[in-house]
Structure 1
């Protein structure tokens, strides 16, 4: 029988509830316990696919093509296993499922209500993922904070599950922020007390409380929280802001959270975070360094590129190197000399995105990388920028462009996928999820992966236009990865360049701290080589 851990948040959001959830998953897995994780998001969107990154940060894509909250990326990276659409539940999905049944007549004669119809749907999805994965422990994180109106149905469903399951089969972990009042030099527990009171008013008594803080949390504070919130003192876990998120599992384990969880759920397993400690040590004790520019549309909000950032960190760990990121607004490159913003960097990453803003700046970043020999990694739209720039400036195709930005371009080197022409609804209709890619023998991509066939995750509507393939290849562009039937270009490289490669897929989504993605690993290797060489490499044609 699976066990269930429910993670809720209080006081304010965005203080590390997702990282706490992922870290708890890492702790349990390291003890030999089979885990899975699920995110319960109260917003009414069916998924975040049509939201602006400024609203929701990065959209993480699962292997089976679900567009999800960025926390699923943290879950996958920490527990080192792929999750599926079942691990992402939104209010929009729940309401849609219930209303579709109502329209079909499944509830004839009945009034549809939040309880029991919505709560039953939520419980079915929680129980369903536990059954599908066969996990020993399912960890469910509820988005937002306790007291949010839109989250009340999820909290009620959790209350019912805690009532339905045996006493030792569920556990409630509440993550709260301890604010620091500078005028008095104190950490304040009152917001946590009110948050727990709100949770208890919904019928849930927390079993453990994780106290997030930006300052050291003394013992008298944890004892006070234990007393006023009716929680065992050993179950009040201080979690101060860490140098790196990958330290969090180690800190929580050392402070007893793993022992407490296993004791309360009646599980067994010995601590074993040796591999994790090793990667954190290498991360915190680099022997060399490189600086990489990330040229993007949303660089003001780093969460928009969280998987890219973490993939660069993972590659740095593999090389015992610190990877510093220079965040460069793509729009700025449209009006300024690229050398002003990119000079001195050891590599350039152009990530994915949608919309015309900053597009020409990304093309100028690709041109700078090609003509200066700077290592370049283009992701999705970043590959399309590579192809467009090469068509314009190396092949003489004046006005070459993507039909996404110029439907009347004389040279549509990037065009809409055939399957997308009839699409009307924008939500969940892109090419999504993992697809196979066959690699060209002798190519940079083939050497990086070390295999002939890989599967990578996609999220796009436009593609390389095969009508221009022969022309571009004749001038030095190398198609090094395609769909197995050869009809879709998945990877493009520039011949004669130290490292200039673009992917139509998103390799960052499959990178892990203990298993960096091969393309990011080799990109950082090229960046470190450039740094070691000192001066800029000779320009290419």
Structure 2
């Protein structure tokens, strides 16, 4: 039977519950346990798929096609496991399921209530992920902040879940803020005390308190928190801001967090192997030289909108021994007239995915600058479509070529809606989602990067390269270096007479890991570094 760990947050949001949970997962896996992770979100959206990245950051896509919370990306990168749709659910999805059952008459005329029906549905999701993953330990992060009305059903479900289990089968970790008050020259524990009091008032006593702060948490502070929150002093842990999120597992390991957790769960403390993580951090410290990469998008005021792209660039940089400096460029502001001023100092240009016409012309301008000036280029999803539109306009003799998404009456809709998408009206969960195979052409840049002919990447899109223009694009010199196994869909394109110009309809960033950088990102950063340092 799986053991369960619930991670809650107090005082304020954005404390790093996800990083704390993922770090614990990394440590437990490094001790030989099978770990899986889950995020419970209290909002009423069914999933984040229809939410603006400005609201929620990036949408992370799993192999089986779930559009999930960005914390799933942290989980996958830290525990190096591919998660599934069972790893993320929202209050909205719980209500949607219950209401559908009520409409079918499943409740035999009974009143449907938060307790027991909503809480039981939440507990069923907890049992389901444990069963399907066959994990030794399930770590479940409860979104939101203690005291929020939205998260109360999740806390109550977790409380009931612990009560139904044997002692030692369920633990609670509470992540809380210990702020530093500059005028008083000290950190303050009162917010943590109030947060734990609120948690205890709804029946949950934390087993561990993880104190987030930008200042040192002294033994005296830990003793005070332990006294007022009814936990042992050794179970109050410090989690001070780190230069890299990948240092957090080591900081928690130094305090014996994983050993204490295993002890409370009644599990054997096996030897730990942190060699891969330590090697990655050592390599990061030894990087020499800087590679400047422009990421041209439309959500650049919120870096979390491109979180996996930024992380993947960082992983590739460490692999190549270079510091990658990411420059977020607003595609709405980029034009052919200012491209030289904006992109002239960049060693590489990346155009990520996105939706809608806003900033699309700026992405085309970025692709044009990269093609003409021989700057290494990586296009992802809409980035591939922008590159195809630019090539069609400027090389293949199709002026005004664009996507039918933006102009249904265009003369050259080189990007068009997939036939199976034509009659779909609902926006949520209806795109081409999840991992799909791609056949890579031997001798291509893509094949050189991947080193194999059949690869799998995760997708999230409705539009594809229009096959009606495929021959014309290829005759003009565009190389279609990756297609679906049946040859029907264009998955990757590149330019042959260019140092490195590759685009993917899939999202390779979702599969990058610190210790296993994605090959496409590594090849891109390598090309950018060669271009800068070849002399």
- Give the TM-score category using the shorter length: over 0.9
Q: What SS does the corresponding residue of 1:155 show, helix, strand or coil?
A: helix
Residue-by-residue CA offset, 1:351-387 (whole Å, 9 max, x unaligned): 0000111110000000000011100000000000110
Mapping of 1:260-409 within 5 angstroms?
A: 260-268=260-268, 269-334=270-335, 336-409=337-410
What is the CA-CA distance between 1:335 and the residue it aligns to?
7.3
What is the CA-CA distance between 1:284 and the residue it aligns to?
2.3
C-alpha distance in structure 1 between counterparts of 2:528 and 2:116, whole Å: 57
Which residue in the other structure is 2:242 paired with? 242
What is the CA-CA distance between 1:198 and the residue it aligns to?
0.4
Residue-by-residue CA offset, 1:475-523 (whole Å, 9 max, x unaligned): 2110000000000000000111111011111000111111111100100
Which residue in the other structure is 1:487 paired with? 488
Q: Is the contact between residue 234 and residue 256 of structure 1 (CA under 8 Å) also seen in structure 2?
A: no
Is 1:99 the counterpart of 2:113? The answer is no
What is the CA-CA distance between 1:253 and the residue it aligns to?
0.7
Q: Is the contact between residue 336 and residue 365 of structure 2 (CA under 8 Å) also seen in structure 1?
A: no
What is the CA-CA distance between 1:334 and the residue it aligns to?
3.1
Q: Is the contact between residue 458 and residue 506 of structure 1 (CA under 8 Å) also seen in structure 2?
A: yes
Residue-by-residue CA offset, 1:255-284 (whole Å, 9 max, x unaligned): 111111011011121222111111011112
Which residue in the other structure is 1:469 paired with? 470
Residue-by-residue CA offset, 1:318-376 (whole Å, 9 max, x unaligned): 11211011111001103751011111111001000001111100000000000111000
What is the CA-CA distance between 1:54 and the residue it aligns to?
0.5
Is 1:77 the counterpart of 2:47? The answer is no
C-alpha distance in structure 2 between counterparts of 1:517 and 1:367, whole Å: 25
Q: What SS does the corresponding residue of 2:468 show, helix, strand or coil?
A: helix
The count of corresponding residues between Structure 1 and Structure 2 is 534
C-alpha distance in structure 2 between counterparts of 1:284 and 1:18, whole Å: 24
What is the CA-CA distance between 1:427 and the residue it aligns to?
0.5
What is the CA-CA distance between 1:251 and the residue it aligns to?
0.6
Residue-by-residue CA offset, 1:286-345 (whole Å, 9 max, x unaligned): 123211000010011000000000000110121121101111100110375101111111
Q: What SS does the corresponding residue of 1:334 show, helix, strand or coil?
A: coil
What is the CA-CA distance between 1:533 and the residue it aligns to?
2.7
Q: What SS does the corresponding residue of 2:415 show, helix, strand or coil?
A: strand
C-alpha distance in structure 1 between counterparts of 2:109 and 2:13, whole Å: 41
C-alpha distance in structure 2 between counterparts of 1:275 and 1:66, whole Å: 29
What is the CA-CA distance between 1:108 and the residue it aligns to?
1.3
Q: What SS does the corresponding residue of 2:397 show, helix, strand or coil?
A: coil
Q: Is the contact between residue 351 and residue 363 of structure 2 (CA under 8 Å) also seen in structure 1?
A: yes
Residue-by-residue CA offset, 1:139-159 (whole Å, 9 max, x unaligned): 000001111101000000000
Which residue in the other structure is 2:18 paired with? 18
C-alpha distance in structure 1 between counterparts of 2:118 and 2:468, whole Å: 51
C-alpha distance in structure 1 between counterparts of 2:446 and 2:168, whole Å: 50
Q: 1:426 to 1:44 in 2, by over 3 A?
A: same
Which residue in the other structure is 2:146 paired with? 146
C-alpha distance in structure 2 between counterparts of 1:334 and 1:216, whole Å: 47
Which residue in the other structure is 1:446 paired with? 447
C-alpha distance in structure 2 between counterparts of 1:299 and 1:83, whole Å: 27
C-alpha distance in structure 2 between counterparts of 1:190 and 1:471, whole Å: 68
Q: Is the contact between residue 286 and residue 320 of structure 1 (CA under 8 Å) also seen in structure 2?
A: yes
Mapping of 1:420-439 within 5 angstroms?
A: 420-439=421-440
Which residue in the other structure is 2:60 paired with? 60
Query: Post-superposition, which runs of at least 4 consecutive aligned residues in structure 1 deviate over 3 A?
Result: none
Q: Is the contact between residue 378 and residue 524 of structure 2 (CA under 8 Å) also seen in structure 1?
A: yes
Q: Is the contact between residue 334 and residue 358 of structure 1 (CA under 8 Å) also seen in structure 2?
A: no
C-alpha distance in structure 1 between counterparts of 2:337 and 2:116, whole Å: 59
Deviates more, 1:429-438 or 1:272-281: 272-281
Unaligned runs of 5+ in 2: none
Q: Is the contact between residue 208 and residue 236 of structure 1 (CA under 8 Å) also seen in structure 2?
A: yes
Q: What SS does the corresponding residue of 1:332 show, helix, strand or coil?
A: coil
Which residue in the other structure is 1:219 paired with? 219
Q: What SS does the corresponding residue of 1:227 show, helix, strand or coil?
A: helix
Q: Is the contact between residue 438 and residue 482 of structure 1 (CA under 8 Å) also seen in structure 2?
A: yes
Q: What SS does the corresponding residue of 1:459 show, helix, strand or coil?
A: strand
Which residue in the other structure is 1:539 paired with? none
Q: What SS does the corresponding residue of 2:5 show, helix, strand or coil?
A: strand
C-alpha distance in structure 1 between counterparts of 2:21 and 2:429, whole Å: 26
Which residue in the other structure is 1:207 paired with? 207
C-alpha distance in structure 2 between counterparts of 1:373 and 1:335, whole Å: 15
Which residue in the other structure is 1:538 paired with? none
C-alpha distance in structure 2 between counterparts of 1:271 and 1:447, whole Å: 36
What is the CA-CA distance between 1:202 and the residue it aligns to?
0.8
C-alpha distance in structure 2 between counterparts of 1:380 and 1:331, whole Å: 18
C-alpha distance in structure 1 between counterparts of 2:121 and 2:296, whole Å: 42
Unaligned runs of 5+ in 1: 535-541
C-alpha distance in structure 2 between counterparts of 1:281 and 1:235, whole Å: 29
Q: What SS does the corresponding residue of 2:106 show, helix, strand or coil?
A: coil
C-alpha distance in structure 1 between counterparts of 2:337 and 2:41, whole Å: 41
Normalised to the residue count of structure 1, the TM-score between the two structures is: 0.98
